[in-house]
Amino acid sequence: MVRLALDESVMMNALSPDLSHWANLLLLVICPVAGYLIGRLYFRGLWWSIHRLVNGGGAAATIAVFVLRFALLACLLVLAALQGAAVLLCIAIGILIARFVSLRRARIDTP
């Protein structure tokens, strides 16, 4: 628990003090968009994996897509966490919006 205190200043600063006001606002716009795009890729891959398993597809490709999907999302979230709490929260909001959109489309496509 001692090492957790070392990143307090990074996580508690909502935005980067090194950037200008406009750069911080741009960052807060780009992060939800990046989260949305990664979320759409994640949930699209999830849909593909489920569709492939239901229709008797190969397990190797399904597992490969799962690992790739999970690694991509984990890398993005780790990078966001290193940037601070505001960036991580904005990316998480983008991913949640992508989840909502993906579930809506899945309900529309399903009879």
Torsion sign across C-alpha atoms 105, 107, 110, 111: negative
Which pTM does this prediction carry?
Answer: 0.75
Query: pLDDT by residue (tens digit) across 60-84?
Result: 888 888 898 899 899 989 988 888 8
Q: Give the residue, 95 or 28, on which the prediction is more confident.
A: 95
First to last CA, the chain: 51
Q: Which two tokens stand for residue 57?
A: 């597809």
* Residue with the two structure tokens 């200008």: 20
Angstrom distance (rounded) from CA 55 to CA 48: 11
SS3 67: helix
Provide mean pLDDT across the span 18-47: 84
pLDDT-derived band at 43 (thresholds 50, 70, 90) equals very high
| Whether residue 12 has pLDDT greater than 60 | no
